[in-house]
Amino acid sequence: MKRMLINATQPEEVRVALVDGQRLYDLDIESTAYKQKKSNVYKARVSRIEPSLEAAFLDYSSERHGFLPFKEISRKLFKAKSPTDEKGSRPSIKDVIEEGQELIVQVEKEERGNKGAALTTHISLAGRYLVAMPNNPRVGGVSRQIEGDDRTEARNVMGELKIPANMGIILRTAGIGKSKDELQWDLDYLGQLWDAIKEASKKQNAPFLIYQESDVIIRAIRDYLRTDIEEIWIDDSEVHKRCHEFMSQVMPHNLPKLQSYEGSDPLFTRYQIENQIESAFSREVHLPSGGALIIDHTEALISIDINSAKSTKGSDIEETALNTNIEAAEEISRQLRLRDIGGLIVIDFIDMLNLHNKRKVENTLRDHLQADRARVQLGKISRFGLFEMSRQRLRPSLDDSNHSPCPRCDGQGTIRNVKSLSLSILRIIEEEAMKEMTNKLILHAPVDTTSFLLNEKRAIISEIQGRLKVEIIIIPDSNLVNPQYSLERLKNSDLTSNINGKASYQLKREGNNNINSPQYNQRNHTIEKPLVEQIIPTKRAPKPKNKNNIFSLIGNILKKIFSTNKNKSRRRKPNNYRGKNYRKNYHAKKSYNKNRHKRSNRNQSHNKRNNNYVKNNTPNKNASNEKNKVASSDSSNEAITSSDVKIKSDLDTNKKENQENTNIAS
């Protein structure tokens, strides 16, 4: 049985888990101190235009400015008369917008690291069954995941909807099989929301937050609640009440699924998923057979390495590698959803020699990714054993939202050892001492580093002081750890009576000034309040049509029997897909061409030998004797006749062989 579990007992963190029995297959965690900005709608001001990047930077009430590419600017926002060149090409970004202009934008990608958020003026509002795109009537249709008869039926229903002017809509997968009244109700609600956003944008000047995407609880019920989920358990009474109000307006037919958990044990402990959640934060994930996954995050991509470790499941090394890779493919598809990993992903499978085994692993991963809501693009296992794929980033990953860089190693995972750091500091001391006007150097360093310098390198430091006439003071600081240190260079003009009169242990370091320590960005935890709160629909959602009555069952049976649509719902093929029999046909055709080339060479050799025979037996035209001429002509005629017969027989044989080969190939 599939359930949705909502844990809201801790106000600082709300967790939503989707379980099948006692197996966790999806997870969403949201902290009250950090709200995601994706899909939020802002009123922003253009602060800077960069024609070289064909983009603009916008101030939208965040520490970093947002990035707005030229292609994400709606044509309706262009100036009334945007000049073009003589050839009629598209205008420059400076010609369509100007600095200080105010725009309504939406966050398309979250801030990550040192990168600001990606913005767009093509607003999209997600509903229960539809996605509305105001001011973009050209875009619309049916979700790519809907195929076959469902797609045809969805297009027919959408053709009956009353769509507002200058608005495009996309049918979500949750809208499959819904009636016209249900879809029209959802569309009316999204139109009501867009009207509220437009009215709120006129109330004050930019920048400010207009509309905020729903929190994790409402978002989970809206996006993840399907017919296969039979129960929704919530362990907090206030959250249960809020969900009851939302579902009574949007999906009253699902209210019987909503349950309040009042057990003595924690909700997640009751279903034994706490350990599974902790594995989503770990770098190493263990497989049932004894293997392991190693997941590492880099700036460019996510690398996943499969180790066989203690896995001995198989009769030989090839079978062991196959079984471990299949287990890893199943677990990788699950971990991608739990961690919400997005971007470029490279998987290093255990090397396999059999091509059929490689395809089996690829198909296993592809089949288990079918239930993923994110868009996924898959490659193939290369000859180096690497599998490349990309996954859409739906929300900030667990690593981005719950981890912060280590202040000691700056997120690298390693630091320099004591000897390496000490020698580096020693070289810097000598370089600073050689500069002009240097009178004194004051070094604050960790205790173990100063111990190494004052003992193992005492002679070298004394030699530098005597040779360069510079005083070097080394002070151990227990508040510093490797690789942190502070080196201060004082000139003659910088020396004061306070510094000259103090002992070395009295020279304190002022705060964090001049520390050579890693710098990392701190998140801004300020929570903005949107002008547009949750919009309450003007009327309740209509009741869904009953699919279990006798008329619906008879209609579905007749539809399956007499359906003319042969394109049944199936797995989407990649763009470079050439058919399942392509490789077999390719090798058969290659073998046939090779044999045909051999036969052609053999036929050419036969013809060449016959031509030489005819040439050698040709009569001499300059013979003076008529008898010899007659005799030679008779013999030549016989030779020609025999050679013609032989050539004809060879040609007939070659023709029969070619005909047989053609029949075989066809």
What pLDDT, in 10s, does the model give residues 595-609? 665 656 666 666 655
pLDDT at 630: 41
Distance of CA 402 to the CA centre of its chain: 19
Q: Which of 19, 15, 22 is nearest to 3 (CA)?
A: 19
**Spatial distance between the Cα atoms of 480 and 515, rounded to a whole number of angstroms:** 9
CATH of the domain at 304: 3.40.630
For residues 300 and 384, membership in a common domain is answered with yes
How far apart, in Å, are the Cα atoms of 326 and each of 23, 41, 322, 331, 383? 18, 43, 6, 9, 18
Same domain membership, residue 363 and residue 305: yes
Rg (CA), the chain: 38
Q: Which of 456, 474, 506 delimits the end of a domain?
A: 506
Residue 464 lies in a domain: yes
**Global pTM value:** 0.72
What contacts 550, CB < 8 A, 6 or more positions away? none
Per-residue model confidence as pLDDT tens digits over 461-496: 999 999 999 999 999 998 898 888 999 888 876 666
Pair (269, 289) in one structural domain: no
Supply the pLDDT for residue 387: 96
Query: Quick one: pLDDT at residue 68?
Result: 94
For helices 418-433 and 447-455, give the axis angle rounded to 10 degrees: 70
Q: Are residues 301 and 363 located together in one domain of the fold? A: yes
117 falls within a domain: no
Average pLDDT for 630-636: 45
Range in 224-238, 386-400, 601-615 with the lowest mean pLDDT: 601-615
To the nearest whole number, what is the mean pLDDT of the chain?
80
Condensed to tens digits (0 to 9), the pLDDT of residues 306-365 reads: 998 776 766 788 999 999 999 999 999 999 999 999 999 999 999 999 999 999 999 999
State the pLDDT at residue 360.
95
Cβ(453)–Cβ(474) below 8 Å:
yes
- Residue 660 makes CB contacts below 8 A (sequence gap 6+) with none
Give domain status of residue 139, yes or no. no
443 and 477 together in one domain: yes
211 and 40 Cβ atoms separated by less than 8 Å:
yes
Q: How confident is the model at residue 214 (pLDDT cuts 50, 70, 90)?
A: confident
Give the closest residue to 373 by CA, choosing from 268, 247, 220.
220
Q: What is the pLDDT of residues 355-380, one digit of tens each?
A: 999 999 999 999 999 888 889 999 99
Give the lowest-confidence range in 12-21, 123-132, 543-552.
543-552
Total structural domains within the chain: 4
Boundaries of domain holding 653: 585-665
